[in-house]
């Protein structure tokens, strides 16, 4: 009896302890739930289920997307339809801007939206509303995309502000739109033979890097309408025409590839070069003609004017050459500048000839005439380096009466009443030496002829130049 009583008491005590312990644990869990509920309510402004908080909703959505597109079930390292016919990839381009055109580097920089269109049935998914799904660059890295690159590009990059400018749009039937915003600097082979009156033809070429025409077929999706442009304004060029074209490129080791061309024609604005090059050059040439109206004895004035114009022309030529590539042929601006430089240089040579002839003329007069005792040759030449007519008193030469023996080639005088019956009249022509002597004795005539010959020659040159290049 005593043993049974002790056993009952022990069992009762054990049950009581279990009840107390369970109550405390239940109270602790209840207090913990209340504590979490109050904190979440305070933090988010409303009551949420703390169990759902443990789950990452974006991760769940990504898993659902990958499951929907069955990305893990296929090998996207291979192109769609591998082993079959070439997959057609349509291209659509919208040119946003032409940022710069460099004549020195012979390249241009263009920003554009490049869009690819193809069909990959591996990414098809069921949809009741037939609506597409749009993704960013994170999903692009997990699927197959065309490996289009820019031929003859020097630099290129995809814009990444604030995120990478990449869009992927997948339709339920597997059609895909892949768009990127890219800036590319590409080569443009320019011909400067008519610079600055030139027109340049540049092109941006697109091609698949790994897949030849047997695996991938590039084409313009909407023909000529596949190339669209915004309103583009350039500082030195006017865009005459934008057009799209296509062709094939052959590589000896890999075969034929489809290639697409974005062609545009640039015509240079001439007004900038008229202000910076042509008008100053014309003014320097006209300024060099001023020396023809300055007295030939004013040596400092004419020499300084000639040297100034020559140095100015040299500066203009150097400035134009520094902003141009070092080409091995003559440009149109070179022809104009060097011809104008020749006119300026000839104006200096013209005065050297006038000064020399004037000196010879005065030396001959000194030898033929009588030099006064008060004449000082060093003082006469101190100012300008030549003798002066008014510094020397020369005796006039006596006028000689014509005689029968004065000139053996001159026919004798005839009686005006007697008319010759027959025969022709011969006129004596001057020899080269006599013409030179006549020019030396009348050196002022060189300036007189130059005042008319230089402007007419330069006008003729400008007429021919602008008719050929404009």
* Mean pLDDT for the chain overall: 79
| Same domain, yes or no: 132 and 264 | yes
What is d(CA 370, CA 368) in angstroms, rounded to the nearest whole number? 7
Number of other CB atoms surrounding residue 399 within 10 Å = 5
What is d(CA 119, CA 437) in angstroms, rounded to the nearest whole number? 93
Cβ burial of 361 (10 Å; 0-12, 13-18, 19+) is buried
The residue among 268, 298, 316 that closes a domain is 268
The pLDDT confidence band at residue 199, using thresholds 50, 70 and 90, is very high
Is 343 within a domain?
yes
What is d(CA 196, CA 270) in angstroms, rounded to the nearest whole number? 7
The domain of 356 spans 272-364+459-469
The residue among 213, 241, 268 that closes a domain is 268
| Same domain, yes or no: 261 and 290 | no
Rounded to two decimals, the pTM is 0.67
Q: How much is the pLDDT for 336?
A: 97
Check: CB of residue 306 under 8 Å from CB of residue 351.
Answer: yes
Q: How much is the pLDDT for 415?
A: 55
Report the CATH number at residue 167.
2.70.170.10
Q: How much is the pLDDT for 10?
A: 61
Question: Domain total for the chain?
Answer: 2
Is 190's pLDDT higher than 60? yes
Per-residue pLDDT tens over the stretch 111-148: 999 999 999 988 888 877 878 889 888 888 888 999 99
Check: CB of residue 147 under 8 Å from CB of residue 257.
Answer: no
What is d(CA 375, CA 385) in angstroms, rounded to the nearest whole number? 16
The residue among 242, 268, 294 that closes a domain is 268
């Amino acid at each position: 009896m005593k043993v049974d009583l002790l056993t009952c008491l022990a069992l009762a005590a054990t049950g009581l302890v279990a009840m107390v312990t369970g109550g405390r644990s239940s109270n602790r869990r209840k207090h913990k739930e209340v504590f979490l509920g109050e904190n979440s309510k305070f933090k988010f402004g409303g009551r949420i289920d703390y169990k759902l908080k443990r789950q990452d909703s974006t991760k769940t959505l990504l898993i659902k997307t990958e499951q929907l597109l069955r990305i893990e079930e296929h090998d996207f390292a291979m192109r769609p339809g591998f082993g079959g016919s070439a997959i057609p990839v349509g291209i659509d381009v919208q040119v946003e801007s032409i940022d710069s055109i460099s004549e020195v580097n012979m390249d241009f920089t263009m920003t554009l939206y490049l869009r690819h269109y193809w069909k990959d049935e591996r990414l098809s998914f069921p949809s009741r509303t037939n609506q597409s799904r749009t993704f960013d660059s994170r999903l692009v890295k997990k699927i197959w995309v065309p490996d289009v690159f820019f031929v003859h590009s020097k630099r290129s990059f995809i814009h990444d502000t604030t995120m990478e400018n990449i869009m992927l749009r997948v339709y339920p039937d597997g059609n895909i739109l892949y768009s990127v915003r890219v800036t590319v600097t590409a080569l443009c082979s320019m011909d400067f033979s008519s610079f600055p009156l030139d027109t340049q033809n540049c092109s941006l070429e697109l091609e698949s890097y790994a897949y030849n025409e047997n695996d991938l077929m590039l084409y313009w999706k909407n023909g000529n309408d596949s190339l669209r442009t915004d309103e583009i304004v350039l500082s030195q060029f006017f865009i005459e025409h934008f057009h799209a074209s296509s062709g094939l490129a052959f590589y000896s080791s890999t075969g034929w590839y489809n290639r697409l061309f974005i062609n545009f024609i640039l015509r240079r604005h001439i007004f900038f070069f008229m202000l910076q090059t042509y008008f100053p050059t014309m003014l320097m040439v006209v300024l060099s003609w001023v020396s023809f109206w300055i007295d030939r004895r004013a040596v400092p004035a004419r020499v300084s004017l000639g040297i100034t114009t020559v140095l100015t022309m040299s500066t203009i030529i150097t400035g134009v050459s520094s902003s141009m590539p070092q080409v091995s042929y003559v440009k149109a601006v070179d022809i104009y500048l060097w011809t104008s430089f020749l006119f300026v240089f000839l104006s200096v040579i013209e005065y050297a000839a006038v000064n020399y002839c004037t000196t010879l003329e005065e030396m001959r007069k000194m030898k033929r005439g009588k030099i006064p005792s008060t004449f000082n040759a060093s003082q006469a030449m101190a100012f300008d380096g030549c003798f002066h007519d008014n510094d020397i008193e020369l005796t006039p030469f006596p006028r000689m009466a014509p005689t029968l023996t004065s000139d053996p080639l001159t026919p004798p005088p005839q009686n005006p009443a007697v008319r010759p019956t027959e025969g022709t009249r011969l006129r004596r022509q001057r020899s080269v030496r006599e013409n030179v002597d006549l020019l030396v004795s009348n050196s002022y005539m060189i300036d007189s002829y130059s005042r008319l010959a230089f402007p007419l020659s330069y006008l003729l040159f400008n007429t021919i130049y602008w008719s050929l290049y404009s």
